[in-house]
Chain A
């Protein structure tokens, strides 16, 4: 994961007000940081350093502590995601059924690597661990749509839909 944000921060005052509300709600709860980060990511879509600073100040912890937690967990992202988030499952069940070839095809079509985002901000690609739809393996998702029992030739058609 790159630690440098690739796009300038465009947070609004409205988003900040929401975040402050979240912080106020959790402030007295023990071990609140991870819960706050989850909700902050829902508000902004990602967790740039600007958002981390607000959280650090609000919860009374150091920015280093916040940054440490953000970078430890794979769910937290320092970069914005694309409009369409493509995830290919690389859990064992999908892997033995060939999801490695599926993800390579997606990379080839979009010209991006895992955790990358196309320059127009339209698609981003992640490799996920098991999403638990092993009966449908191999599986990929585009936002909330799930595509299962895939073969490599299905990939171009699916991406073309978006």
Chain B
């Protein structure tokens, strides 16, 4: 193996690729060549570092310098100063890492300090397109151990003891699920992986697949051995082209190395994995719908029981786990159930990856031990809400989840605490909202999503969600009544109780949780006909504060419909009947004289 003195790690995740990391990679190669450093410095494309807000990210080892928002023009400086002369380009490193006398370790930076990377252990560390790098970090060791030293029952027992629960949202104990499937008697069984990450604003699974695809393959093979299956399917969104490509590369390499396929490790155990592309249907994240879709049909859910562990894919016993759940398996085998169970809380073991987004400074991917409070995530790891605004609520669980208001910011994040406050863990989307977000509008946003994505098979979901949306629409347009709020709430419970699958059963959650914590906002919409956050256009009025207005006419010149009139140097007025509420006047006014409310 060639020896090099420095490594340049460039993030090749979707976030950084979108902000141009491939161009940087080419530029680095070119500039290194130009400066005669190609043999001494190696450029590697890795998975996600997590701090997507600062992408594209470049990390140079051995120093561990964390360069953020690197542009093509900056590359030459990094090559000439840092790699040639050994002087870190302080101008470009993440400013949190800069200390008076040098650069501090990334682990001491607020964003990383409270994180513990288990599922993401290899993301941003190895080149995901090279199996040897995975093997170098103990990859496929767990599979080897399982096949040569453990019985299937011992594997299931270890997973049970670790306390690992499904990371896709439901939180069902993984070991118990495997146990059910192992006890189903059938010649043919299947292991499936749910990579159909459909929650808007969530990209944890994609980052694992892009940054560490082999860990999922290894875990699926382990699961196959445990339940007695020799065929696996990964159902992945077609919207994730980078992840699909890297998974295929990983599968091909694993087969070439004999780590998938026939007679793995000479133990007589066969296991093969195929990729199946989703085609854009949120309901396919539901387990029975996902299996129907792999079978090539419309992805409609089936009634349970029979559960997939008894009759799943092609009516054979099947287990389905989520990507992040699988990513935890090899570490649990290698380091033991006790080690894993020592992380987290009594009933929620291990860590959870969250995609932190919305109104927060450090958007990106974070992995925290269960039991970390929301406050630690938002204020310390996330760096708080930008522009001096106030934290209003965090939304977890996407269209199936609910919101956590500011008053509950000290809630520990684990499965049971979140359920008890009317939200849920979900697959890991965590969207932060500030005072400028209207909670009725957010509920409406999620309902628009579920109405779109309801598969239409059962009536409560197909028709019920549409009625919910209609009532919400009426409220945001200022035509709602107090009875509408009661009707909304009653309908929510009917839909929850009567729907066929998880999509319908959870669809009312965004409404119920906003009603629970922000009922006053709903009431403001129907009684006072006001949107306190100023989001709902029909309820927003623009006016000019006569005391602040200097009469400069800037707003009236910008107004697209000529709704503003007045005399120069005297206060102007807005004609509410003409106003289309575009807000241009407010953006234009230099004196803050235009008010919304």
Which residue of B203, B298, B359 is within 8 Å of A97 (Cβ)? B359
Q: Chain A, 14-40, contact with B by CB distance < 8 Å: what is the 0/1 string?
A: 000000000000000011111101100
Which residues A59-99 have CB closer than 8 A to chain B? Answer: 65, 68-69, 72-76, 90-97
Given contacts A91-B201, A135-B364, contact A73 B240 (CB under 8 A): no
Which residues B310-331 have CB closer than 8 A to chain A? Answer: 314
Chain A, interface residues (CB within 8 Å), range: 35 or more
A97 to B357: give the CA distance in the assembly, Å: 10
Which residue of A32, A91, A146 is within 8 Å of B200 (Cβ)? A91
A95 to B449: give the CA distance in the assembly, Å: 12
Q: Tell me whether B52 and A139 are in contact (CB under 8 A).
A: no
| Count of residues in B whose CB is under 8 Å from the partner chain | 51
Instruction: Kindly list chain B residues whose C-beta atoms are within 8 Å of the C-beta of A5.
Output: none
Query: Is residue B258 contacting chain A, with contact meaning CB distance below 8 A?
Result: no
Which residues B279-294 have CB closer than 8 A to chain A? Answer: 279-282, 293-294
Query: Is residue A112 contacting chain B, with contact meaning CB distance below 8 A?
Result: no
Instruction: Kindly list chain A residues whose C-beta atoms are within 8 Å of the C-beta of B449.
Output: 129
Query: Is residue B10 contacting chain A, with contact meaning CB distance below 8 A?
Result: no
Q: Tell me whether B445 and A148 are in contact (CB under 8 A).
A: no
Instruction: Kindly list chain A residues whose C-beta atoms are within 8 Å of the C-beta of B446.
Output: 92
Instruction: Kindly list chain B residues whose C-beta atoms are within 8 Å of the C-beta of A94.
Output: 201
Q: Tell me whether A38 and B238 are in contact (CB under 8 A).
A: yes
Given contacts A92-B357, A97-B358, contact A130 B296 (CB under 8 A): no
Q: Tell me whether B15 and A132 are in contact (CB under 8 A).
A: yes
Q: Tell me whether A32 and B364 are in contact (CB under 8 A).
A: no
Which residue of B19, B199, B359 is within 8 Å of A136 (Cβ)? B19
B564 → chain A closest CB, angstroms = 20
A122 → chain B closest CB, angstroms = 24
A38 to B201: give the CA distance in the assembly, Å: 25
From B78-86, B150-158, B429-437, give the one contacting chain A.
Answer: B429-437
Given contacts A96-B431, A128-B239, A135-B364, contact A74 B398 (CB under 8 A): no
Instruction: Kindly list chain A residues whose C-beta atoms are within 8 Å of the C-beta of B51.
Output: 135
A137 to B429: give the CA distance in the assembly, Å: 14
Instruction: Kindly list chain A residues whose C-beta atoms are within 8 Å of the C-beta of B355.
Output: 93, 134
Which residue of B240, B429, B445 is within 8 Å of A95 (Cβ)? B445
Query: Is residue A133 contacting chain B, with contact meaning CB distance below 8 A?
Result: yes
Query: Is residue B384 contacting chain A, with contact meaning CB distance below 8 A?
Result: no
B405 → chain A closest CB, angstroms = 16
Q: Chain A, 130-162, contact with B by CB distance < 8 Å: what is the 0/1 string?
A: 111111110100000010100000000000000
Instruction: Kindly list chain A residues whose C-beta atoms are within 8 Å of the C-beta of B199.
Output: 92, 130
Query: Is residue B202 contacting chain A, with contact meaning CB distance below 8 A?
Result: yes
Instruction: Kindly list chain A residues whose C-beta atoms are within 8 Å of the C-beta of B363.
Output: 93, 134-135, 137
Q: Chain B, 425-452, contact with A by CB distance < 8 Å: what is the 0/1 string?
A: 0000101010001000010011001000
Q: Tell me whether A73 and B357 are in contact (CB under 8 A).
A: no
Which residues B194-216 have CB closer than 8 A to chain A? Answer: 198-203, 206
B436 → chain A closest CB, angstroms = 9
Which residue of A68, A93, A146 is within 8 Å of B358 (Cβ)? A93
A126 → chain B closest CB, angstroms = 10
Q: Tell me whether B277 and A130 are in contact (CB under 8 A).
A: no
Q: Tell me whether B398 and A92 are in contact (CB under 8 A).
A: yes
10 pairs of residues in contact across A and B, judged by CB atoms under 8 Å: A33-B297, A73-B279, A73-B299, A92-B200, A92-B446, A93-B363, A95-B445, A96-B358, A129-B200, A135-B52
The 9 A-B pairs at the shortest CB distance, nearest first, are namely A135-B52, A93-B357, A73-B279, A31-B296, A91-B200, A92-B201, A132-B203, A74-B280, A75-B280
User: Chain A interface (Cβ within 8 Å of chain B)?
Assistant: 30-35, 37-38, 65, 68-69, 72-76, 90-97, 128-137, 139, 146, 148
User: Chain B interface (Cβ within 8 Å of chain A)?
Assistant: 14-15, 18-19, 51-55, 198-203, 206, 238-240, 276-282, 293-299, 314, 355, 357-359, 363-364, 395, 398, 429, 431, 433, 437, 442, 445-446, 449, 455
